[in-house]
Structure 1
Amino acid sequence: MKIRYATELATEDCIYELYENLGWNQYLKLSKDQLLTAMKQSWHVIYAYHENRLIGTGRTVSDGVINAYLCGLGVHSDYRGRGIGAEMTRLLIEQCQKAHLHLQLLCEEELVPYYEKMNFHVFAVGMKRS
């Protein structure tokens, strides 16, 4: 299976459809326009396509000088376990390294082993405001 990685969205609807598949919009409750704005205002975005279907995305938000935060990394449920998320992460790491940014991420506890395989390590306690 040939996967194409790009920095541009094929259509405005495809990112919304992917977030729906991932179940993220049940929590985020974003409109299509809000989601597109989030993508456009990110420091760097990677999209994964199989043929013309958007099957994955990941992005970093950054001040462009010191820190970058990996977020929104997800792969369509039909395509998981094929290294697509790892490749998107590698591409995002590469962009941050070129810019000399300190890359960080927050993840759910069950995802810690996944990111540890890519040389991330637990270094702080994350918190959020309700």
Structure 2
Amino acid sequence: MEIEFNELNPSKDDFIRLHQTTGWNGKGIYTYDQLYSAICNNWYSISIYHNKKLVGFGRIISDGIYQTLICDVMVHPEYQKQGIGKKVMESLLKKCDEAGIKWVQLFCAKGKQEFYKKLGFISRDSEAPGMSLFL
């Protein structure tokens, strides 16, 4: 499969079409204008296209030194299980390595833990699960 990598953010329309396939905004907490604005504030992102169609995306939020979070890794359902997600992650991790970042964190969708474990990620220790606050 001929794919194209692009380190620029996708167009808003392309991003919305891909994001809608995930079901992640099911409660409508954020508008698509807000979500697109969020990805435009990345430290780094990778967009993957097949025949000019956005089929994969991922981004990094980081200070470029030690606080690094991979988020919004998406692959269009028609392209899943074809190595696109792995290519997204390899691109993101390569960027971290080039910057000398040693510790990479991520959040993943339910049921996707095994995919990330294959890439070397480990679950946080139950003694240090982290915390969050939804305002």
Normalised TM-score (structure 1): 0.89
Q: CA deviation at 1:90?
A: 0.4
d(CA) in 2 for partners of 1:42 and 1:81?
26
Q: Deviations over 1:3-43 (max 9, x none)?
A: 11111245321101111111122145433321221111011
Q: Retained in 2: the 8 A contact 1:56–1:75?
A: yes
Normalised TM-score (structure 2): 0.86
- The answer as to 2:123 corresponding to 1:128 is no
* Structure 2 unaligned regions, length at least 5: none
The residue number in structure 2 matching 1:66 is: 66
The residue number in structure 2 matching 1:113 is: 114
Change (3 A) 1:109 1:23: closer
d(CA) in 2 for partners of 1:96 and 1:28?
32
Correspondence 1:5-16 to 2 at 5 A: 5-16=5-16
Q: Retained in 2: the 8 A contact 1:13–1:32?
A: no
Correspondence 1:78-93 to 2 at 5 A: 78-93=78-93
Q: RMSD value over aligned CA atoms?
A: 1.7
d(CA) in 2 for partners of 1:11 and 1:108?
24
- Give the AA of the match of 1:45: S
Give the secondary structure class of the aligned counterpart of 1:120: coil
Q: Retained in 1: the 8 A contact 2:5–2:48?
A: yes
Q: Which has the higher helix share?
A: 1
Q: Retained in 1: the 8 A contact 2:9–2:45?
A: no
Q: CA deviation at 1:66?
A: 1.2
Give the secondary structure class of the aligned counterpart of 1:25: coil
- Give the AA of the match of 1:103: V
Q: Retained in 1: the 8 A contact 2:4–2:49?
A: yes
d(CA) in 2 for partners of 1:51 and 1:8?
17
The residue number in structure 2 matching 1:104 is: 105
